[in-house]
Structure 1
């Protein structure tokens, strides 16, 4: 069984390689489900490690419905991954109704030609996964990363099995979400070809809690997309004039 490690830093990527993992999904910000890593991080991993690298292409948190400008950023990131000879990308897009955005996903797929394409866990937001998997199959997606529409893949294993059986081998279903040493054998026994996990160990690096927090709970609310507002900016500029 292939083991893919969700690596959120160079240190995590090196740990994956040193630990014998088969592949990494390189990203940052696990707290919001993962975001696209910096070009500097991608370049360092590709230059110094030999483990196959799939890069998460997700420009922001909040949801998986993207504007034209956000899609343009995603396409530029994919082009950079191709330039560095990454093995694959992990991305996708949904409509506001939580169905696969076929048009955008096809653009992403076309830009990714020559790379493996994994549709990420946005799939777990789809209302009718059995129907949507057929759509992804027609587009030529290589695999789907999914927790079986549950918070943890072990709780969604029956749905994952149904998805795997429905694809008849045309698309790989890769379980991910809460996979660990206690449940990984359940996925192997169920016949899955790969699993996705972070194998994270948390370390406290601060000796004391800072007086000023750099975290804002308001930005971690699911579905919230924070953007600078032009009217607010104009108001501030006017006040300072």
Structure 2
């Protein structure tokens, strides 16, 4: 069974390679489901490590319906990953009704060649997953990362098995989401060939923080945090 570690930092990537993982999905900010890591982090890992690197291409937190500007950022990130020698990218785009944006997803798939392309857990938001599987096969996606449309992959294992059976040899179904030491064998015994997990442990770096830098209001996936033009204008006018 191939092991993909969701690595959110340089140290996570080092640990994944040293511990026998087959590849990493490199991202930042696990708290919001992951976003595209920095150029410097990708480059450093490619320089120092031998483990295959698949980079998450997600320009922001929130939903998976992107503006034209977001889409251009995603394409530029894919080009950078290709130049740095990454083995794959992990991405996906939905329409506002959570159907797959096939036109733009296909453009990303083709831009990524010869890198591998994984359609990420945006798949867990689609209305008709079996139909969406067929659509992704048509645009050239070779792998889908999904929890079976549940908060944890074990709860979604029945849908995952249906997807695996329907996908056959054309698309790899890779379970991911809440996979841990107590559940991993469930997926191997069910016939899955690849598995995705982070194996994250939390380590205290500060005994006391007087001013928090976190804000719960940014963790709502139905909301986008955007600098407001009216607020900026009013505040600029106050001090200019």
Q: TM-score range by the shorter chain?
A: over 0.9
Secondary structure at the counterpart of residue 153 of structure 1: coil
Per-residue deviation, residues 103-138 of structure 1 (Å, max 9, x unmatched)? 211121121110000000000000110111110000
**Unaligned stretches of 5+ residues in structure 1:** none
2:52 is the counterpart of 1:68: no
CA distance in 2, matches of 1:162, 1:31: 29
CA distance in 2, matches of 1:178, 1:194: 15
How many residues align? The count is: 240
2:213 is the counterpart of 1:186: no
Counterpart position of 1:100: 100
| Aligned-pair CA distance for 1:211 | 2.3
Compare 226-235 and 84-93 and name the one that shifted more: 226-235
2:127 is the counterpart of 1:127: yes
Please report the RMSD computed on the Cα atoms of aligned residues, expressed in angstroms: 0.7
Secondary structure at the counterpart of residue 195 of structure 2: strand
CA distance in 2, matches of 1:180, 1:52: 22
CA distance in 1, matches of 2:210, 2:85: 44
Secondary structure at the counterpart of residue 154 of structure 1: coil
| Aligned-pair CA distance for 1:236 | 1.3
Counterpart position of 1:162: 162
Counterpart position of 1:223: 222
Counterpart position of 1:211: 210
**Unaligned stretches of 5+ residues in structure 2:** none
CA contact (8 A) 2:106 2:140 kept: no
Compare 213-222 and 79-88 and name the one that shifted more: 213-222
After TM superposition, where is structure 1 displaced by more than 3 Å over at least 4 residues in a row?
none
Secondary structure at the counterpart of residue 61 of structure 1: coil
Counterpart position of 1:2: 2
| Aligned-pair CA distance for 1:189 | 0.8
| Aligned-pair CA distance for 1:64 | 0.4
Alignment of 1:21-170 (within 5 A): 21-170=21-170
Secondary structure at the counterpart of residue 90 of structure 2: strand
TM-score with structure 2 length normalisation?
0.98
